[in-house]
Amino acid sequence: MNVIISGASKGIGSEVAKLAASQGHNVLAIARNKENLEQLSNTNKRIVSFVADLVSVDLTVQLKEWVESVGKIDLLVNNAGQLINKPFMETSKEEFRTQFDVNVLSAINLCQAAVPWMSGNSHIVNITSMGGFQGSSKYSGLSAYSSSKGALSVLTECLAEEFRKKGISVNALALGAVQTEMLEEAFPGFQAPVSATEMAAYILNFGLTAHRYYNGIILPVTIGNP
């Protein structure tokens, strides 16, 4: 299959890319960090790296070149994300805007570029958070992050309806704490119960199989709180 992964330069995204390629899938790995992407693409010839700021770049030409070489897009994983841990009253409008740009607008831009190359049995998986899951425990300092992830969850439900007639399934995984660089930067010393490698295996399996059973679902993926 042909898989696109955003936020692929580190953490969960990088692990999903490596695992997918090791299973024989073609992978387009997208992120802003050129050095990390080059290192990732060197691990497997099936991984093609694409350095891009998904908030502002026009992806149409680049995606067309890759898709024409592989055939179509089977799976899109919108994994790009940013987490700011800061009290609400101290969080600037610019910081709120950045969170929504990275966590929501990047997914919007990538979906709009990718959907023309997707068809029946294709799957879009948005990586959201338990922080943005309605009814879950909320934490001080995560207002910008959680509200942006909540927006991505609602967008998932909307796109599931938009693309239903095309046969494209759209689902979201609301992740609990996973041991990644992003988590370590936001919460120094906190130890998550799940590694990036473990979560990557779950995400890839879900992305390749769950469209047969789900559409428009926001699925909590957590064994604790968060």
Question: Which residue numbers are catalytic?
Answer: 145
Per DSSP (E only), the strands in the chain are 2-6, 26-31, 47-51, 75-78, 123-129, 169-175, 218-221
Among candidate residues 145, 106, 143, 97, the one with its CA nearest the CA of residue 126:
106
Residue 51 DSSP symbol: E
Strand partners, 2: 26
* Total number of residues shown for the chain: 226
CA angle 70, 110, 77 (to 5 degrees): 70
Strand partners, 6: 30
Per 3-state DSSP, the chain is made up of helix, strand and coil in percentages (nearest 5) of 50, 20, 35
Helix (H) or strand (E) holding 150: helix 143-162
Question: Which amino acid is present at 164?
Answer: R
Spell out the residues 6+ positions from residue 79 whose beta carbon is closer than 8 angstroms to its own.
5, 6, 7, 8, 12, 13, 16, 127, 203
| Cβ contact 131:86 at 8 Å | no
